[in-house]
Amino acid sequence: MKTLYIDLDGTCFEFKKDASLDEILERGFFSSLYPFDNVIRGIKTFHKENPDVKLKILSSCLDRDYILEEKNQLVDKYLPFIDKKDRIYVPYGKQKSHYMNSSDNSHELYLLDDYTKNLEDVALHNMTGIKLVNNINFTKGTWKGHTVHYELPDWIFASELKRIIKEESR
């Protein structure tokens, strides 16, 4: 089985690059993030066309109950087919790779994320990283692995995810 873990901030939703910690900790910060519509529709299309790939949320989260609540509200609204039990919120600063596992008999694990450090970490653990190129990242070109762009039409976005996962399955 294959599992695609999906980040939220900066991947499915626009993250405010210049926001201060005080702003990020304000109630309503996360619930006011704008969705990357093509990414959301692309994930929905991918899900419909690839029922053999399990989708899970894997998002870093600061230690505030209302932040977790707001992130769940976003997923409920935009990606409601991802069950609450398949939403993993990683304590801020912890490595996401430690929360990706094959205890659900998945042998092939993928992470769709905008942050190169997370992708490099999963690569060190024999998992596949897929960089979501958005409007604020990929400025240094340090990530040399798979990429998908947030402005791709949804059907191309979905087919690129499928191509990457099929290619890596060989």
DSSP string for residues in 113-152: ES-HHHHHHHHHTT-EEEEEE-SSS-SS----SEEEETTS
Spell out the domain ranges in the chain: 2-169
31 or 137: whose pLDDT is higher?
31
Among 57, 64, 50, residue whose Cα is nearest residue 21: 64
- Tell me the residue type at 29: F
For the domain made up of 2-169, the CATH class stated in words is: alpha beta
pLDDT digits (tens, 9 = 90+) for 109-165: 999 999 999 999 999 998 999 999 998 887 777 899 999 999 999 999 999 999 999
pLDDT per residue over 1-17, tens digit each?
Answer: 899 999 999 999 998 88
According to DSSP H, which parts of 10-153 are helical?
21-24, 37-49, 65-78, 116-124
Q: Check residue 135 and give its pLDDT.
A: 84
Please check the confidence at residue 108 and state whether its pLDDT lies above 70: yes
